[in-house]
Amino acid sequence: MTLKLAFDVYGTLVDPMGMADLLEQDAGESAEAVSALWREKQLEFSFRKGLMRVYEDFGVCTRQALRYAMATYKLDLTSDREDELMAAYLSLPAFDDALPALKALKGDYPLFAFSNGSYPALEKVLGHNNLLDQFEGLVSVDDIKSFKPDPAVYTYARRATGAWDEPLCLVSSNAWDVIGARAAGLKAVWVQRDTNKVFEDWGIEPSAVINSLSELPAALKHL
């Protein structure tokens, strides 16, 4: 059976903290903290909307989280500047290991991008980083109006990638995503980019742990 790979996008292939530099003109020395809170609340808002069954696409969560982060630090944004930052989010930088890893894997495994982001957002950010052409397809939660780690999302990923009778492996730097995938019966590789990050002790373990996507080809041989 052919192992199919589903790559998380935000935090795994592209770096949400890449917004910190742009935020310097708005937040000064607090730019990195604002960027981190923006990302934290983006995820929290998507989790809550999924649980509440009041789906709005990931871009809405991102905008609402930006407003929250700025308000927390008592910073003002004009509507035009907010739109600029939201547009910039579609051009987040890729991690240096992303494209080489995908090129190394292409041809040996069917590759898919699997994200909370909408299709237009994924096409934009992946295309901006020359990653889009490495994938056989994109899988967005927008199709079923929920968010990871809803088990229905991972079940949908099986259907969308054709992995009903074949194994599907998530590749993600987000521990909560790895736990969600494992709980739903998928294999999952955790990309521990920061060695100080701790994997939550839920009794659910990743199929493998790597520190860089460059280690993925070797890790997959042992799954």
Name the maximum alpha-carbon separation found in the chain: 54
In this structure, the chain runs to a length of: 223
SS3 state at 140: strand
The C-alpha atoms of residue 108 and residue 99 are separated, in whole angstroms, by 15
> How far does the chain reach from its first CA to its final CA, in angstroms?
13
Residue 149: which of 106, 125, 114, 99 has the closest Cα?
114
Q: Where are the alpha helices (DSSP H) in 56-187?
A: 58-72, 79-89, 98-105, 119-128, 151-161, 175-183
Active site residue 15: no
Catalytic residue among 8, 15, 26, 177: 8
Q: What is the 3-state secondary structure (H, E, C) of 45-87?
A: HHHHHHHHCCCCCHHHHHHHHHHHHHHHCCCCCCHHHHHHHHH
Taking CB atoms within 8 Å and a gap of at least 24, the contacts of 193-196 are: 193/95
Whether 150 contacts 156, CB under 8 Å: no
Active site residues: 8
